[in-house]
Structure 1
Amino acid sequence: MATNLVTTTWKENMQFESDNPSGISLTMDAGEESGGEGKGYRPKALMLSSLAGCSGLDVVSLLKKMHAEVAEFRIDVTAELTDEHPKFYNKVKVDYHFSDSELQPKKIQKAVNLSVTKYCGVMEMFRQFAEVEIEIFLHEL
């Protein structure tokens, strides 16, 4: 079984630095409304970036294998937090936007479906605590 180690170190005030198995570090900070300075990623929002990144990597790889690459690709993730503490995402919407002059809708749909249902571990983690909705948007260039 594979394991990952991430070390997160308090820097000052509400700021933390976290490493990554890739060797790249990032800064997390609370917003001013929570006593921070807003000089880093917010931890909960970073989870949404992880979701988009995980699925995006799958989709790009799959489209390449299917010979259905696109000119532009964007993922928008919108999430709703619960009102009570501990606040967590209970509803998440993932919008996949593809742009090209020669879109291949069936291959795009297949790539997204494979990521969502089979390959993206972060998506599976989100499904354990949130209602996840997926939508695909095709834009002709």
Structure 2
Amino acid sequence: MTNKIELSWKGQMLFESVAPEGSVMIDAAEEVGGQGKGLRPKAMMLTSLAGCSAMDVASLLKKMRAEVDDFKIEVVANLTEEHPKYYDKVQVIYRFYGTDFKKDKIEKAINLSVERYCGVMEMFRKFADVTTEIIYIEQ
């Protein structure tokens, strides 16, 4: 299977990435000629990582009947100092909100995403040390 996007220049450092499913704007920091009208490329990588795992977890929690009120994923990544700068350490923090958590099922869903289903996570492991953390917030 082949995936394809098309990137179009919109002036200065602004670009639009169009995929069959939709589009997203990409822009650079203002100090290098950007206008703040889109995500930066490296932030999009972190977004892809969180989004990939989030979709796995949401689907698995539903199948396991372990729904939560809400959940959020925070990704904290360390960028190397030298060019080309890349993420060498990445922490994925899963925050679950609700009451009476089915922690065994939640942890199983995360482990399945991290170890089996999330292709973006697998790609990140090729260049970064990836760790995960789970936080439960009773509401």
TM-score bracket for this pair, using the shorter chain length: over 0.9
1:48 CA displacement = 0.3
* 2:65 counterpart letter in structure 1: H
Say which SS state the counterpart of residue 83 (structure 1) adopts: coil
Cross-structure match for 1:71: 69
Q: Deviations over 1:38-78 (max 9, x none)?
A: 11110100100000000000000000000001001000000
Q: Deviations over 1:1-59 (max 9, x none)?
A: x111100011100010101231x111100011122111111010010000000000000
Give TM-score scaled by structure 1 length. 0.97
Cross-structure match for 1:117: 115
Say which SS state the counterpart of residue 36 (structure 2) adopts: coil
Equivalent position to 1:58, from 53, 56, 59 = 56
2-structure distance, mates of 1:106, 1:83: 39
**Correspondence 1:19-98 to 2 at 5 A:** 19-22=18-21, 24-98=22-96
* 2:2 counterpart letter in structure 1: T
Q: How many residues align?
A: 139
1-structure distance, mates of 2:121, 2:32: 28
Say which SS state the counterpart of residue 85 (structure 1) adopts: coil
Cross-structure match for 1:133: 131
Say which SS state the counterpart of residue 25 (structure 1) adopts: strand
In the alignment, is the contact (CA less than 8 A) between 1:4 and 1:21 conserved in 2? no
2-structure distance, mates of 1:120, 1:34: 33
The percent identity for this pair of structures is 58
Cross-structure match for 1:17: 16
1:99 CA displacement = 1.0
* 1:25 counterpart letter in structure 2: S
CA root-mean-square deviation: 0.7
2-structure distance, mates of 1:108, 1:20: 32
**Gaps (5+ residues) in structure 1?**
none
2-structure distance, mates of 1:100, 1:119: 25
Give TM-score scaled by structure 2 length. 0.98
In the alignment, is the contact (CA less than 8 A) between 1:72 and 1:99 conserved in 2? yes
**Gaps (5+ residues) in structure 2?**
none
